[in-house]
Amino acid sequence: MSNDLLAKLGLRVRELRTSRGLTQAALAAQVGFRASYFSHIENGVKGATVETLAAVAAALGITLSELFVGVDQPMPDDVDRLSTALAGQSPARQRILLRILADALRLAAET
């Protein structure tokens, strides 16, 4: 996997993990790996086997295909910035921000 793909996959894993309120240690325990290994994956330092990614996806309650959404296709800059900004927030703050965004989109659709 190229470094760009590893970084995008790592960001996607982090987004999904934090949106579920999981720590690296909690997800690692569910999958059977050390938290440091997940840190390497999330930071794009190391790749993972398909089996490992399938286990991560299952622990997150998604399919392997869902894990790769946005990873293999270029994301528009605005979406990428939004994704990065959300990934850096606490799960509680992410939920608040996503509700605000959903409300704004709903209001925009009504006008």
Q: What is the pTM of this model?
A: 0.64
Range of the domain at 66: 3-110
Q: Quick one: pLDDT at residue 23?
A: 92
Q: What is the CATH number of the domain that holds 91?
A: 1.10.260.40
Q: What is the overall mean pLDDT for the chain?
A: 86
Quick: pLDDT tens for 35-70.
898 899 998 888 889 999 999 999 999 999 889 887
Q: What is the CA radius of gyration of the chain?
A: 15
Instruction: State mean pLDDT over 21-37.
Output: 91
Number of domains in the chain: 1
- pLDDT category of residue 76 using cuts at 50, 70 and 90: low
DSSP 49: -
Tally the C-alpha atoms within 13 A of residue 51's C-alpha that lie toward its C-beta. Answer: 2
